[in-house]
C-alpha cells in the first residue's frame, strides 16, 4: 500500500472484478465463469495479491481474455468505487468481531515496522476516503504495481503446453511492461521486529 492509504491494494483487488474497458459490465467476469461451470476468487497478502479462477476447459480461452483485461485497462468507475468501499468497510467491521483477526493484528503490531506485514491491509472508510482522489489513487496504484515484470502467471489446462503458452502471449502481452526486461529481485525484509 502507498503511505497514507492503508488498504488500497486490497481495495484494488476488489475493484478489478467490477469492469474493464474491454468488458465494462460489472458482473461480466464472474457471470461468464458461473455460466461455464467456474468461479473465481482473490486475496491480498502483505506482499502480494493473488487472483485465481477455474472454468469448464472448453471456455478457458474466453475466460483468459476476460481475466487479462483486469491487468490491462480496469475501469474503476465512480459508482463501483463507492459501492465497493462499502463492501470493504463491512468486511473490516466483520473482521473486528473475530478473535483470530484481532490476534493477527496484535502479531502485526509486533513486526518490523518497515516490513509490509506490519501494515493495516484491509482498509476501511477511514483509510480509503471516498471521492475522486481515491479513484485516482487506484489508477496510480494499478499503473505502478500491476506490471508484467512484477507478476507471475500460471495457466493449467488440457491443451498442450505450446498452445497454453500461445494463449498467455495472446492475452497477456498487453499488460504494461510485458515487453520490458524482468525486474531485479526485490529486497526481502524479515517480518520479525527489528
Residues annotated catalytic, as ranges:
13
Q: How many CB atoms lie within 10 A of CB 182?
A: 9
The CA distance from 26 to 20, in Å, is: 8
Q: How many CB atoms lie within 10 A of CB 6?
A: 19
Amino acid at each position: 500500500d502507498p503511505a497514507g492509504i492503508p488498504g488500497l491494494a486490497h481495495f484494488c483487488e476488489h475493484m478489478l472484478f467490477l469492469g474493464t474497458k474491454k468488458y465494462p459490465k460489472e458482473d461480466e467476469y464472474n457471470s461468464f465463469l458461473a455460466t461455464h461451470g467456474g468461479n473465481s476468487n482473490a486475496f491480498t497478502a502483505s506482499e502480494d495479491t493473488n487472483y485465481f479462477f477455474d472454468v469448464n476447459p472448453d471456455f478457458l480461452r474466453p475466460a483468459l481474455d476476460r481475466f487479462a483485461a483486469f491487468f490491462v485497462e480496469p475501469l474503476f468507475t465512480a459508482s463501483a468505487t463507492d459501492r465497493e468501499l462499502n463492501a470493504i468497510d463491512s468486511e473490516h467491521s466483520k473482521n473486528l468481531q473475530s478473535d483470530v483477526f484481532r490476534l493477527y493484528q496484535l502479531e502485526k503490531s509486533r513486526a518490523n515496522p518497515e516490513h509490509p506485514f506490519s501494515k493495516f491491509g484491509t482498509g476501511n472508510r477511514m483509510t480509503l476516503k471516498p471521492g475522486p482522489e481515491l479513484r485516482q489513487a487506484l489508477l496510480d496504484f494499478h499503473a505502478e504495481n500491476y506490471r508484467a515484470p512484477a507478476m507471475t502467471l500460471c495457466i493449467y489446462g488440457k491443451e498442450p503446453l505450446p498452445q497454453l503458452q500461445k494463449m498467455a502471449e495472446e492475452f497477456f502481452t498487453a499488460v504494461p511492461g510485458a515487453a520490458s526486461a524482468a525486474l531485479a529481485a526485490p529486497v526481502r525484509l524479515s517480518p520479525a521486529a527489528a
